[in-house]
Structure 1
Amino acid sequence: MGLEIERKFLVAHAGWRAQAVGAVRLEQFYLFSREDASVRVRIRDGRAARLTIKTGRDGLSRGEFEYDIPLQDAVELRESRVGKLVEKTRHIVPLEGGWQAEVDVFTGTLDGLVMAEIELKTMDDAPPLPDFLGREVTGDPRYFNAQLAVEGRPPAEA
């Protein structure tokens, strides 16, 4: 079984930008979404597409199964989406000890939202947390991308 273990944070300030080493433009949408499962299609830089199935409701660890699909299939599936298109640029920011943060700068309907994820190898990992990370939202379903697509951006005070 594929497994994704990650911590998710709101970003407190733009201090990460000077450290970013790469970026990719992502357009993603959901074909199915419920509390314990979702099916997502993601288009990377308009050139490649991937179908992802996520299972479970725990914010830290969830089942994850990913499959490359033809770009044209993804384009055609976009019209069958649930909710809004999620558009973002993902920036890679190296951290101490070989870790990395993926900082997502959202545009479109989620413009202004900036979040960071740190993928873990085990549930017990404790990567360094840089000062640009704000409040942790790992277990808050309002910040799952599937929920953002359906419900939109949570209020700033959330």
Structure 2
Amino acid sequence: MALEIERKYLLATAQWREEINSSTRIAQGYLNDAPARTVRVRIKGDKGFLTIKGKNEGIARAEFEYEIPLADASELLKLCPNVLDKTRHEIHRDGFVWEIDEFAGDNAGLIVAEIELPALDTEFAKPAWLGEEVSGDARYYNSALSNTPYTRWPR
């Protein structure tokens, strides 16, 4: 079984921009966003993906991702009620890849950093630009952002 172990953070400063290794535009939507499982369709650059994720157990969950034809991904996105638009910036640091998602559209203004870990107890250095950890806050799940966008959150 594939296991995703991920920690998610808000950003405290914009210093991360100085460390970007690559950036890719992503469109993604959810065919199913039930708490027990999500089924995501994604176009990342010029590739399509179908991803099935299990229920979160802390910072871990089952994850199965498959590359699919780009034309299929485009058609499947049309079945999704809401499509997220974001740019993913990658930063390679201390043997890890930080994925920083800068959202557009209804989620404009939200920037979230994620790191995938090989084990639950993996230690890693936290860059100075990291802010509050939001790993367990369901509002920051992409599936939740597709239904309740950041710009509509009560302030």
1:53 corresponds in structure 2 to: 52
1:9 corresponds in structure 2 to: 9
2:144 corresponds in structure 1 to: 147
Aligned residues: 154
8 Å CA contact 1:59–1:141 kept in 2: the answer is no
1:89 corresponds in structure 2 to: 87
Aligned with 1:125: secondary structure?
Answer: coil
Does 1:115 find its partner at 2:112?
yes
Gaps of at least 5 residues in structure 2 are none
Gaps of at least 5 residues in structure 1 are none
2:30 corresponds in structure 1 to: 30
In 1, Cα distance between equivalents of 2:85 and 2:58: 21
1:136 corresponds in structure 2 to: 133
Aligned with 1:80: secondary structure?
Answer: coil
8 Å CA contact 1:3–1:61 kept in 2: the answer is yes
Structure 1 ranges of 4+ moved more than 6 A: none
Identity percentage of aligned residues: 43
Residue pairs, 1:68-83, within 5 angstroms: 68-82=67-81
8 Å CA contact 1:21–1:94 kept in 2: the answer is yes
8 Å CA contact 1:102–1:117 kept in 2: the answer is yes
Structure 1 residue 59, shift from structure 2 partner: 4.4
Structure 1 residue 156, shift from structure 2 partner: 7.4
1:27-80: CA deviation from partner (whole Å, max 9, x where unpaired): 1000111112100011012x1100000001224101000111111111111221
Instruction: Provide TM-score, normalisation by structure 2.
Output: 0.94
In 2, Cα distance between equivalents of 1:156 and 1:125: 35
1:2 counterpart letter in structure 2: A
Give the aligned CA root-mean-square deviation in angstroms: 1.4
